[in-house]
Structure 1
Amino acid sequence: MSLALGAATVPTFTVLVRKGYGGGYVIMSGGRTFHPTLVLAWPDAETGVMSPDAALDLVFRRELESAEDPAAAREQLARSFSDRLGAVRGAEGFGFDAVVRPSETRQLLVDTLATLPRRKLMQHVTPRVHPVDPL
């Protein structure tokens, strides 16, 4: 899939509707890796290098193991980092063009697609050097 996205000469759109973490997010055309035409996120979307749960387990493992109540300590740490999650923070660091309501997504994609050059014009602007294999 990543090779096809890298070779594509057609407009691509990315809409993050839930969660996108790490390499999986990148391979699914997350952020700006494959230069998508438009990157949108829904308000509840989360993105990051890894999931918050995995990050807490990795970074604060020793502190959590040595705590009297590991579950309570983990919950407190999770609350302290909760303001760093969400679509607005993702827009700052992960290349979203906009954070939109689910009900507005389709119309925004249609409007953006209508502003792009037609296919015949694209062949002169960015000619296809090699085909994209079927997925």
Structure 2
Amino acid sequence: MGFPGAAVVTSCPTGHPAYSQSLPREARSAEAARRLVRTALTVWGLGSLTTDATLVITELVANAIDHARLPSIRVTVSRPSTNRVRLGVVDRSRALPVLKAASCGDQLRGRGLLIVDSLTEQWGTELYRWGKQVWAELWDAGTE
């Protein structure tokens, strides 16, 4: 038993370890990526981000499937701070993603980054010698 009036503190680790998984560069990998994101958010007590985060990771995976070169991608989920989650997809292409204007006519595809941009606090690309990581960060205001 604790002391009367004492706050109960639970550990919610941030930083490493993060969650990551290599997946085939195939459409069916989006479900595995969503499952990884849901698992991490549940463990970290950030379930309020699940709907937006699973949509964001789906769009990032879809972009990698369309534009990467090799047969696999790597999905990462990390927690840089108590209330911030970073989702990433690493692939072997150095081609930068392009945020298209909302008024792209009647195109059915090509608006994924608009969705990512609208649901996240920030997103970007880290270039590597051998490829890139496209990442997006979501923030939970309720965990401050």
Greater helix proportion: 1
Q: Please confirm whether the aligned pair reaches a TM-score higher than 0.5, indicating the same fold.
A: no
TM-score band w.r.t. shorter chain: under 0.3
Greater strand proportion: 2
After TM superposition, the score normalised by the length of structure 1 is 0.25
Find the structure with the greater CA-based Rg: 1
